[in-house]
Amino acid sequence: MRPGTCCEAVSVMDEPTKPLPDPAALAAAETRDWLASLDDVIYGQGPERARELMRALQIRAQQAGVRLPTTSRTPYVNTIPPDRQAPFPGSRDIERRIKSILRWNAMAMVVRANRESPGIGGHISTYASAATLYEVGFNHFFRGTDHECGGDFIYFQGHAAPGIYARAFLEGRLTEQQLENFRHELRPGGGLSSYPHPWLMPDFWQFPTVSMGLGPIQAIYQARFMRYLEHRGLNRRSGAKVWCFLGDGECDEPETLGAISLAAREGLNNLIFVINCNLQRLDGPVRGNGNIIQELEADFRGVGWKVIKVIWGSDWDPIFANDTDGLLVKRCGEICDGEYQKYQVEGGAYIRQHFWGADPRLLAMVADLSDDQLWKLRLGGHDPDKVYAAYHAAVETRRSPVAILVRTIKGYGMGEAGEGRNITHQQKKLNEQEMLHFRDRFNIPLTDEQVVRTPFYKPPPDSAEMQYLMYRRRQLGGFVPRRMVVSSPLAPPTDKVFTEFYKGTGDREASTTMAFVRMLSKMLRDKNLGPRIVPIVPDEARTFGMDALFRECGIYSNVGQLYEPVDRESLLYYKEAKNGQILEEGITEAGAMCSFIAAGTSYATHGVCMIPFFIYYSMFGLQRVGDLIWAAGDQRCRGFLVGGTAGRTTLAGEGLQHQDGHSLVLAEPLPNLMVYDPAYAYELAVIIQDGIRRMYHNREDIFYYLTVGNENYIQPEMPAGVREGILRGLYRLRRAPAVSKRASKNIPHVHLLGSGAILNEVVKAQRLLADKYGVSADVWSVTSYKRLHRDALEAERWNMLHPQEKPRVPYLTEMLSEKRGIYVAASDYLKLLPNSIARWLPGPLVALGTDGFGRSEDRAALRDFFEVDARYVALAALHALARDGHIKRDVPQKAISDLDIDPEKPNPMIS
Ligand SMILES: Cc1ncc(C[n+]2csc(CCOP(=O)(O)OP(=O)(O)O)c2C)c(N)n1
Ligand SMILES: [Mg+2]
């Protein structure tokens, strides 16, 4: 009978003396009923059925307008209950002894380096907090390259490097001298780099991680690229995993969390994040007033990751088992991280009073534990059983990526020297007392006298520790980390693909972007090159006229195409496919760059040479994702970055935010980045053909940045004999028109240097100068200021160091030695570029460039505004000639009015 019916009312009125039931008691009884029903289902029919029912209830509640609390956070307890933990299969005792030795050696490495060279740096507390996380991985999970899966990919937290070195020392892969030379890489015998840098330790480190946030985002795209290779049939599905270790503080970097939804969307079950939640970053608590583990749980669960929280160690299991009313669970969720950190520093009495003391029933739960025992109740991240169970569950996960949130103590074991303290991150020195404490805490077999010297400790080869450690690594497929290049070189690309571009476009106009896209599609169709090419775009394919490739090569999607695209009827429809070749990343230059890195390092990580072309708005490359490009250089990435619609005045209309006049300058500092600003299709073809040869046939660890523009003009045929000049950065495009020797003596002469689309302005200026002012000019195409500059610096350095040998001549000087006279250089980039080579020119240089903020305007107006069109090139030449007395002083003045130049116009550099 429904409440409130007439009969019910009567029956209540019939018994007026019976007391009304207590509503709270009723509610409690009802809750118990419901919970008992749920238990029945869970234990009778299994969790799957329970999930179905809960889901049905949730839908019904929502339909009835009941607002449910957000479910992305679960209580502040371990995700895996003790009875569901996979049992730890190793020897707890031996592993603890190995770990203690590693802790000691990692600490000793930093302490000794700083004792000898104060200020040399290094970190003790990070590895101290993460040692168990790594050791469970090393002994049970991380598979080396000899394993049939080909080896897992491990992104180590950068500043935990001392611990990783310490292990490699026990494994016999690093010498004692190398450990002594931690952070002294230049010493005889070699040393160890501060952080993971494949550039510096190419046989050891695979992935640079210390720029916070770059490890996690790269790991995501790495896992995705692994799938891409498998789906395209270029690599077998091996079951290899990508593990990424990161800090809780590191999660504040936008890159860390910025791509986590992609990982879930793509169902990357090959990806595991282990987030070391020691609640501290460099300066202090990560979320003193909040709770970082809960916050991260919501972030990851919210987008579809599986989250495994490892908060409490096994010591807590019996206490939680007695928490029948959920009081303890509730209490755990009330404490903010700053307070949790304080418990660690203050000790047992404080914890009893402030945590357990909140309720007498809580106090009763731990009445039989001493203060010391209370203090030492172990956290999850320092308990191998808990960590093992979490990793085990993670590697078994079938449908999604996994984030393991592990609670640890920063500076674990450092005691007074820094355990849990705000200064711990920067702690690089331990005094004698602190080291003795460390020795005792971890039972390192060293005498007091030895401790003072802080030696590295290595147990004898036949000790149980060493035997165990080596055995486990053998079982897991060899040492980790290890970087190996096993791929075979590719044959150098033939002319076939490129010849068309050497011939020019006849009387048809085309931009270098169009030429590039055509070249790319020809490469994609080439039998040998085609399968290797990885076109990558951040939602800009149409901008660059690449949409034809959608249909031709397909856009990679891990599920294929589950819908009929709206343009299915058209020839160039939007085709997604499981074996699609294009990585259409959406609007994420950072993500696209990570795909570029994954593809460009595949020759080493997968043993499969891939040739990525990442095409993007040039303004959103080096400026926006410069640190990732730096990381690409560090990890010896190969491939082509193509900055489209480049040039501050060549990209019309877009204005200040899009018009790029400085990416070439930003590209200057990257040591292994080859940089070109080609003007013509044939230049581009020569550079790309040679680039593929150098990177994939010669196996040079370089990569390329090329600019391409969207201005249409006739692409000329390649003149004879210019290939070398194109590659080395400079060649003569057009000589001055011939005149008799006698006449030439009286004709003032200049050399005009032009790059990119501005080369055409320079060619126009050559005519202008000849026709209007009787000045003859040679025109030179400068394809790469960076190349010229570095070549000259190299020669100069060699000459300084070899004073008695025949001096080397920079290429620039060699090309121009006979070419005295005035030089004018114009480009669509900062004046800094031409000025960088001025010192080696045989005559004075006037540099024209596009320093300043861009404007929304058409090309002609922009080139006038930035003073880089043919008129300004001519004026610059006349000015320099007059200044040096080669022509009359009034000529430039006359040119200013002839050429309609406003001398009082604002300076674009500062306006
Ligand atoms: C982009 C960037 N910014 C700053 C730093 C300097 N830095 C190195 S470690 C660190 C704190 C890291 O804290 P967390 O991620 O919590 O790691 P923990 O050492 O606590 O495990 C900082 C700020 C850096 N390496 N990279
Ligand atoms: Mg931290």
pLDDT tens digits, one per residue of 622-653: 999 999 999 999 999 999 999 999 999 999 99
Residue nearest to atom 10 of ligand 1 (CA): 282
Residue 50 above 80 pLDDT?
Answer: yes
Residue 184 has pLDDT above 50, yes or no: yes
Angle between helices 464-475 and 161-170 (to 10 degrees): 100
User: What ligand has the least distance to the C-alpha of 278?
Assistant: 2
Contact 909, 852 (CB under 8 A): yes
Centroid of ligand 2 to alpha carbon of 123 (angstroms): 12
Measure 566 CA to ligand 2 centroid, in angstroms: 48
Q: What 3-state class would DSSP assign to 815?
A: helix
Of 494, 573, 577, the closest CA to residue 233 belongs to 577
Mean pLDDT on 243-251: 98
Question: Residue 15 — very low, low, confident or very high, per pLDDT cuts 50/70/90?
Answer: low
pLDDT attached to residue 738: 74
Instruction: Kindly provide the b/e burial profile for residues 764-777, where b requires at least 16 CB atoms within 10 angstroms of the residue's own CB.
Output: bbbebbbeebebbb
> Do 702 and 672 contact (CB within 8 A), yes or no?
yes
Gap between the terminal Cα atoms of the chain: 82
Query: Which ligand 1 atom sits closest to the C-alpha of 213?
Result: 1
Query: Would strands 583-584 and 703-707 be described as parallel, antiparallel, or unpaired?
Result: unpaired
> Rounded to an integer, what distance in angstroms lies between the CA atom of residue 588 and that of residue 574?
19
pLDDT at 765: 98
- Supply angle C-alpha 249, 252, 255, rounded to 5: 120
C-alpha 159 chain-centroid distance: 16
Separation in Å, CA 182 to CA 177, 191, 193, 246, 432: 9, 5, 7, 22, 21
With a 6 Å cutoff on the Cβ, whether 694 touches ligand 1 is: no
- Whether 456 and 176 have beta carbons less than 8 Å apart is answered as yes
- Residue 558 Cβ contacting ligand 1 at under 6 Å: no
With a cut of 90, say whether residue 605 has pLDDT above it: yes
Whether 424 is in the pocket of ligand 1, judged by its Cβ within 6 Å, is: no
Confidence of residue 742 (pLDDT cuts 50, 70, 90): low
Cα–chain-centroid distance for residue 899?
50
Rg, Å, the chain Cα set: 34
Average of per-residue pLDDT across 771-799: 97
Confidence class for position 778, pLDDT limits 50, 70, 90: very high
Q: What is the pLDDT of residue 16?
A: 56
Residue of 123, 197, 210, 212 to mutate, ligand 1, most atoms within 8 A of C-beta: 212
State both tokens at 810.
């920079």
Q: Is the CB of 256 under 6 A from ligand 1?
A: no
User: Can you tell me the distance from the alpha carbon of 671 to that of 703, in angstroms, rounded to the nearest whole number?
Assistant: 10
Strand partners, 178: none
pLDDT at 85: 97
Helix (H, G, I), strand (E, B) or coil at 164: helix
Please state, as a whole number, how many other Cβ atoms lie within 10 Å of the Cβ of residue 691. Answer: 23
Cα gap 139→697, rounded to integer Å: 38
Q: Give the distance (Å) from ligand 1 centre to CA of residue 212.
A: 6
Cβ neighbour number for residue 383 with a 10 Å cutoff: 23
State the amino acid at position 875 in one-letter form: L
Provide CB contacts within 8 A for 335, sequence distance 6+. Answer: 291, 355
By the 8 A CB rule, do 174 and 192 touch? Answer: yes
Beta bridge partner(s), residue 533: 611
Q: Which atom of ligand 1 is nearest to the CA of 251?
A: 15
Length of the chain: 911
**Which whole number is the average pLDDT over 439-468?**
96
Least distant ligand from the CA of 156 = 1
Q: Which of 658, 646, 665 minimizes the C-alpha distance to 847? A: 665
Question: Of the ranges 168-182, 710-724, 814-828, 882-896, which one carries the lowest mean pLDDT score?
Answer: 814-828
The residues with which 674 forms a beta bridge, in sequence order, are: 704
Ligand 2 geometric centre to CA of 62 (Å)? 39
Tell me what the mean pLDDT of segment 140-162 comes to.
97
Give, using CA atoms, the residue closest to atom 20 of ligand 1. Answer: 281
Q: What is the greatest pairwise CA distance in the chain?
A: 134
- pLDDT of 910: 94
Q: What is the mean pLDDT of residues 595-603?
A: 98
Burial group, residue 676, by CB count within 10 angstroms (0-12, 13-18, 19+): buried
Residue in the structure block whose two tokens are 């598979």: 143
| Closest-approaching ligand to the CA atom of 253 | 1
For residue 137, what are the contacts with CB-CB under 8 A and spacing of at least 6? 154, 243, 274, 391
**Chain centroid to CA 465: how far?**
36
Quick one: which of 655, 649, 700 has its CA closest to 869? Answer: 649
Mean pLDDT of 399-423: 94
CB 751 within 8 A of CB 823: yes
Q: Give the Cα separation of 251 and 508 in Å (integer).
A: 52
Supply the pLDDT for residue 496.
92
The answer to whether the CB of 212 is under 6 A from ligand 1 is yes
**Residue holding tokens 């500059």?**
789
Q: Is 677 in the pocket of ligand 1 (CB under 6 A)?
A: no
Rounded alpha-carbon distances, angstroms, from residue 222 to 152, 289, 680: 11, 35, 35
Q: How confident is the model at residue 17 (pLDDT cuts 50, 70, 90)?
A: low
The answer, yes or no, to whether any atom of ligand 1 lies below 6 A from the CB of 473, is no
Pairing of strands 153-155, 533-537: unpaired
**Helix extents (H) in 316-444:** 317-321, 327-332, 337-346, 348-354, 360-365, 371-376, 384-395, 432-441
| Helix (H/G/I), strand (E/B), else coil: 488 | coil
Written as one string, the DSSP assignment of 645-709 is: S-STTTS-S--TTT--SSHHHHHTT-TTEEEE---SHHHHHHHHHHHHIIIIIS--S-EEEEE--
Angle at 315 between CA 312 and CA 317, to 5 degrees: 70
Binning pLDDT at 50, 70 and 90, where does residue 743 land? low
901: helix, strand or coil = coil
Mean pLDDT of the chain: 95
pLDDT (tens digit, 9 = 90+) per residue, 781-793? 999 999 999 999 9
Look at residue 9 in the predicted model and tell me its pLDDT. 40
For tokens 């003193």, name the residue: 288
Report whether pLDDT(32) > 70. yes
Distance (Å) from CA 210 to ligand 2 centroid: 14
Tokens of 2: 């429904």
Query: Which residue has the least CA distance to atom 3 on ligand 1?
Result: 212
* Burial environment of residue 488 by CB neighbours within 10 A (0 to 12, 13 to 18, 19 or more): exposed
User: H-type helices in 183-244, by residue range?
Assistant: 214-231
CA distance linking residue 429 with residue 249, whole number of Å: 23
Give the per-residue pLDDT at 353.
98
Tokens standing for residue 855: 């404007």
| pTM of the predicted structure, to 2 decimals | 0.94
Smallest CA-to-CA distance from 166 within 247, 73, 263, 100 is with: 100
Task: Please identify, by atom number, the ligand 1 atom nearest to the C-alpha of residue 130.
Answer: 21
- How much is the average pLDDT of 856-880? 98
Whether 754 shows a pLDDT value over 70: the answer reads yes
- Three-class SS state of 11: helix
Give residue 4's pLDDT. Answer: 38
Question: In the prediction, which pLDDT does 20 show?
Answer: 79
For residue 208, the CA-to-ligand 1 centroid distance in Å is 14
Q: If you average pLDDT over residues 454-465, what whole number do you get? A: 97
> Does the Cβ of 512 fall within 6 Å of ligand 1?
no
CB 505 within 8 A of CB 176: no
DSSP assignment of 197-209 equals -TTTSTTT-----
Cβ of 280 below 6 Å from ligand 1: yes
The reported pLDDT for the residue numbered 72 is 83
Torsion of CA 111, 112, 116, 119, to 10 degrees: -30
pLDDT at 819: 77
Q: How far is the CA of 161 from the centre of ligand 1 (A)?
A: 13
Q: What integer is the mean pLDDT of 173-181?
A: 96
Instruction: Kindly state if the Cβ of 126 falls inside 6 Å of ligand 1.
Output: yes
601 token code pair:
């390092």
Task: Judge if the beta carbon of residue 250 lies within 6 A of ligand 1.
Answer: yes
Cis peptide before 16 (omega within 30 of 0): no
Ligand 1 centre to CA of 591 (Å) is: 21
Task: Say how many C-beta atoms besides its own lie within 10 A of residue 57's C-beta.
Answer: 14
User: Alpha-carbon distance 249 to 254, whole Å?
Assistant: 11
Q: If 0-12 CB within 10 Å is exposed, 13-18 middle and 19+ buried, where does residue 84 land? A: exposed
Whether 337 is in the pocket of ligand 1, judged by its Cβ within 6 Å, is: no
C-beta neighbour count of 385 within 10 angstroms: 19
Is a pLDDT exceeding 80 seen at residue 10? no
Kindly state the average pLDDT of the residues 681-702. 98
Of 56-65, 246-255, 703-712, 827-836, least confident by mean pLDDT is: 56-65
Task: Copy the structure tokens of residue 635.
Answer: 């990890």
For 590, residues 6+ apart whose C-beta sits below 8 A from its C-beta are: 217, 255, 258, 259, 624, 625, 628
**CA distances (Å), 523 to each of 15, 89, 261, 489, 774, in order?**
92, 52, 33, 18, 46
- At residue 2, does pLDDT exceed 50? no
Task: Determine the pLDDT at residue 11.
Answer: 45
Q: What is the DSSP letter of 379?
A: B
Residue 3 has pLDDT above 90, yes or no: no
Concatenating the DSSP letter of every residue in 38-77 gives HHHHHHHH-HHHHHHHHHHHHHHHHHTTPPPPP-S---SS
What spacing in Å lies between the alpha carbon of 652 and ligand 1's midpoint?
41
Is the pLDDT confidence value at 6 over 60?
A: no
283: CA distance to ligand 1 center in Å? Answer: 10
Identify the pLDDT of residue 769.
96
- How confident is the model at residue 818, as a pLDDT? 79
Q: What is the pLDDT of residues 371-389, one digit of tens each?
A: 999 999 999 999 999 999 9
Q: Enter the tokens of residue 269.
A: 């079950």
Which residue among 382, 425, 630 has the greatest number of ligand 1 atoms within 8 angstroms of its CB, and so is best to mutate?
425
Q: Write the pLDDT tens digit of every residue in 561-572.
A: 999 999 999 988
Nearest CA-CA partner of 676 in 777, 762, 782, 589: 782
Q: Is the Cβ atom of 790 under 6 angstroms away from ligand 1?
A: no
Closest protein CA for atom 23 of ligand 1: 282
Distance from the alpha carbon of residue 307 to the mean position of ligand 1, in angstroms:
23
